[in-house]
Structure 1
């Protein structure tokens, strides 16, 4: 992977699932895409600015055709990675959005500064479900495909588990306060 200058602070990056392309969400609101090769060469694929406010989170669809961008604008931006067309869901949240994660081809999730988590079907304009059990920012998501469960970490010091098949707007489980911010989550298999 070559060193690629982007001219602004990077908030999030994601890699294309099938090609040597990296996407960066920047403080300036830009989303930049770069193709790279094994020899250390890179090429700018596109530079889009869905919002003038910061881009805090990115996620890509399983096949790499859609890039989801969120940030301080409180909007969910859906970018077609081939045509570079942007579809925006203005006011997706009432607060700035920190995280976005693709769960399945027809389900993604967003989390904001106030701890609100929303599930989205990208084909619909409105959220499928809203969870309000956290009271501080959502810092990360982990998708457990085999159980169809979404795990969220929060600045409130708790971790929650939601069964996305359930119609209930409450989590399946929530941890005790860990007395510190939980900043990220990852699966470690032994």
Structure 2
């Protein structure tokens, strides 16, 4: 079963610019001072003036040579960088706002759902992205798009309250549940054996079977929207994050609520599973991360400050490492066991809406309010995970300044040297 991602928040777009630091190069003035009480005649002053002028000309000449050498080195570095083979697909820029993205679990396909209700299906590789199909599915915003476990069916849910299943290869409609919820559908998660669950703006969760016209289960878990849902391989419990700051777990076998957590002080937005699905990490709109033991959803076992801005989405990339992003547009990596910041994976100039990881674990895709999708090569994370020393004291300032290999911002020093 595919493990995935993220809450979807619609708010006023406030541009968060990320500026590279500038370095000013200014000439230093050189002064030749006379000694107090020492008299000089006009000839001496003239000779001194000529000497100073000659020295300044020499310095200027050397400075130009140094600057020329420096520029040559910069040009060489730029050419070397450009000559490197691309290690990730190029970015995709769309005309309309991208609400959700989803990688295929079986091949190099990625689906983009937009605010117009369409789904764009791309085939990606390191050289180019090829648009295979444009599926016009919903009359209002398509809020969630998910591949089933086999990758042959694409499920979508929209603001028009409809749930649609589409054949990936042919693009033909397989099934449509019109007015599936009384409120617009916010989140969809695929299960095994043609089953899936949906959550809406009014806090209702429903279990569906593609072979049946009506839902198998309908449970009201709150009054706010269901921002995210997740389950593990056994699919016994479904954990739901709510806009009201409550984590609710549902016993899918018994079709009843299993536990309800304490009230948190902000919306719970995103979730991920770690440590062989024994640990559940939950992100919030205040930038906090809460760690739960699986089946113990009433109260978190640990709490971290992920960032100062709202966390909108996360994706586990190893059993210990998570990548998060949100309002500030920066993708950050953190090792959770032990907890420490690893650095910046990549960045957008506007808030990031969602993240997903490819079927082979090589790429992360992120979409932002710029109507773009960017790809980040994260194959190095397996190496980083093995280099983390659990007994090594964390240097938070140094860790936060690191930019990982996928980031467009280069490190001043080698990232790996800080991990040993």
TM range (shorter): over 0.9
Q: Does 1:80 align with 2:167?
A: yes
RMSD (Å) for aligned C-alpha atoms: 1.2
CA contact (8 A) 1:36 1:42 kept: yes
- Structure 1 runs of 4+ with >6 Å offset: none
Q: Could you list the per-position Cα deviations for residues 36-92 of structure 1 after superposition, in whole angstroms to 9, with x for gaps in the alignment?
A: 1133x1111110111120000111110111111001100101111011112321010
Q: Does 1:177 align with 2:269?
A: no
- Structure 1 window deviating more from structure 2 (65-74 vs 139-148): it is 139-148
**Which of the numbers 70, 77, 95 marks the counterpart of 2:157?**
70
CA contact (8 A) 1:62 1:105 kept: no
**Which of the numbers 79, 97, 101 marks the counterpart of 1:9?**
97
CA contact (8 A) 1:111 1:137 kept: yes
**Which of the numbers 213, 217, 220 marks the counterpart of 1:132?**
220
Report the counterpart of residue 241 of structure 2 in structure 1. 153
Report the counterpart of residue 129 of structure 2 in structure 1. 42
Going from structure 1 to structure 2, the CA distance change for 1:147 and 1:117 (only over 3 Å counts) comes to closer
Q: Report the 3-state secondary structure (helix = DSSP H, G, I; strand = E; otherwise coil) of the residue aligned with 2:268.
A: coil
**Unpaired segments ≥5 residues, structure 1:** none
Alpha-carbon distance, 1:105 to partner? 2.7
**Which of the numbers 177, 201, 215 marks the counterpart of 1:113?**
201
Q: Report the 3-state secondary structure (helix = DSSP H, G, I; strand = E; otherwise coil) of the residue aligned with 1:171.
A: strand
Structure possessing the higher radius of gyration over alpha carbons: 2
Q: Report the 3-state secondary structure (helix = DSSP H, G, I; strand = E; otherwise coil) of the residue aligned with 1:19.
A: coil
Distance (whole Å) between structure 2 residues aligned to residue 171 and residue 59 of structure 1: 25
CA contact (8 A) 2:235 2:252 kept: no
Distance (whole Å) between structure 1 residues aligned to residue 274 and residue 97 of structure 2: 29
Distance (whole Å) between structure 1 residues aligned to residue 253 and residue 99 of structure 2: 31
Equivalences, count: 187
Distance (whole Å) between structure 2 residues aligned to residue 107 and residue 61 of structure 1: 9
Q: Does 1:186 align with 2:272?
A: yes
With a CA cutoff of 8 Å and minimum separation of 6, indicate the structure with the bigger relative contact order.
2
Q: Could you list the per-position Cα deviations for residues 141-168 of structure 1 after superposition, in whole angstroms to 9, with x for gaps in the alignment?
A: 111223621111010110111121114x
CA contact (8 A) 1:75 1:88 kept: yes
Alpha-carbon distance, 1:177 to partner? 1.0
Flag the structure with higher helix content: 2
Going from structure 1 to structure 2, the CA distance change for 1:185 and 1:90 (only over 3 Å counts) comes to same
**Unpaired segments ≥5 residues, structure 2:** 1-88, 276-319, 321-420
Q: Does 1:58 align with 2:129?
A: no
